[in-house]
Chain A
Amino acid sequence: MIIDQVLKFELSRLNVHLPERRISLKEALKSAKPQVAARDGSIHAFKREELDLLAKTVPEAEWERLYLPILIALDPKLGRGAARITGGAEVKAISQILEKKGADDELLIYRPEVAIVRRKLPTTTQYLFVPG
């Protein structure tokens, strides 16, 4: 039974790095120190060059709808190595970066693409583990 408790604790800890509240790209671009507070109390800062890259990728009208960090959802139901991006503006930004077409509100990406996204946007994207 101790193993179950350890396992439950591990699962509860998986998403502690996620922010309490996401901020829009517009808000981040305006801010002198673009950052968000994570659930564990730590601060997650965004790099200015990544914000500039996103600003160039997404039209200005969408800046308010693009929330940061962009979440790369890893769901075991999707199968190993597959990830999901949700949100209209977020899908648009990642599609542009990967030069890949996706549905309006959802984009499925695979491991090599996740690596590319993480390489280009290391601070403005974060992993989200979806419990089954």
Chain B
Amino acid sequence: MAAAVAVVTPTRMELLKLKQRVSLAQRGHDLLREKMDALVIEFFEILRRIGEARTSALKQLSQAYRALSICSAIMGTIETRQASKEARRELEVEVSTHHVMGIVVPTLEVEKVERSVLDRGYSLYTTSSVLDDASREFEKALGLLVKLAELEESARAIARELEKTKRRVNALEYILIPRLRAALKFIAMRLDEMERENFSRLKRIKAMLEAGA
């Protein structure tokens, strides 16, 4: 604080400039704090949605693995593995972005996660309907996982911005504004001191002039 005060020139001009800087810093601090509060609301909302999405994704995955176990038991492990190799693996995901308070947040849209039996690509002649059930369950799980990925990436982006904003708010609150206020106080006190010095000097001169006359 002392170092900041030492470099300040104690003039009225500097005092006015400092007052403007304090007001700008205070305004910035208030607005950034509002932004931080809004980001906290968004962050907690996303966390809540992540919790829900994760629960439903895990539930769906457990159903899917159960269906896969049944399929392996009925069709046989080698046949199931063979069918999985034959299946089409492409999934079209449209990745776009949207903004939450200027933060770029990803949006993942899957046109069609659940495919028809013919679209899956494996042979219908050599496979059983339990494989269709297992595939359907896994496709549903995939849709939920894509949604979960979108939410988790959004949470990460919001958390990064929250951290940045918090650092700025703290820098303003604990470093910049107190330094500016200290400098302001120093100049005001120095100017008062100079005024007092001037006043006593004038008094002294007046007394000397009166003594001379």
Residues of A participating in the B interface, judged by any CB pair closer than 8 Å: 3-4, 7-8, 10-11, 13-14, 16-17, 38, 40, 42-45, 74-76, 80-81, 111, 114-115, 118-119, 122-123, 127, 129, 131-132
- B41 touching A7 by the CB < 8 A rule? no
Residues of B participating in the A interface, judged by any CB pair closer than 8 Å: 21, 24-25, 27-28, 30-35, 37-38, 41-42, 44-45, 97-102, 104, 168, 172, 176
Name 15 interchain pairs, CB-CB below 8 A, sorted by A. Answer: A10-B168, A11-B27, A17-B101, A17-B102, A40-B102, A42-B104, A43-B98, A45-B98, A74-B38, A76-B34, A115-B45, A118-B45, A129-B35, A132-B27, A132-B30
- A131 touching B31 by the CB < 8 A rule? yes
Nearest B residue to A76 via CB reads B30
A16 to B100 alpha-carbon distance, docked (Å): 10
What's the nearest-Cβ distance from chain A to residue B184, in Å? 15
Identify B102's interface contact among A3, A16, A43, A111, CB under 8 A. Answer: A16
What's the nearest-Cβ distance from chain B to residue A129, in Å? 5
What's the nearest-Cβ distance from chain B to residue A9, in Å? 10
- B25 touching A7 by the CB < 8 A rule? yes
Identify B97's interface contact among A3, A8, A42, A76, CB under 8 A. Answer: A42
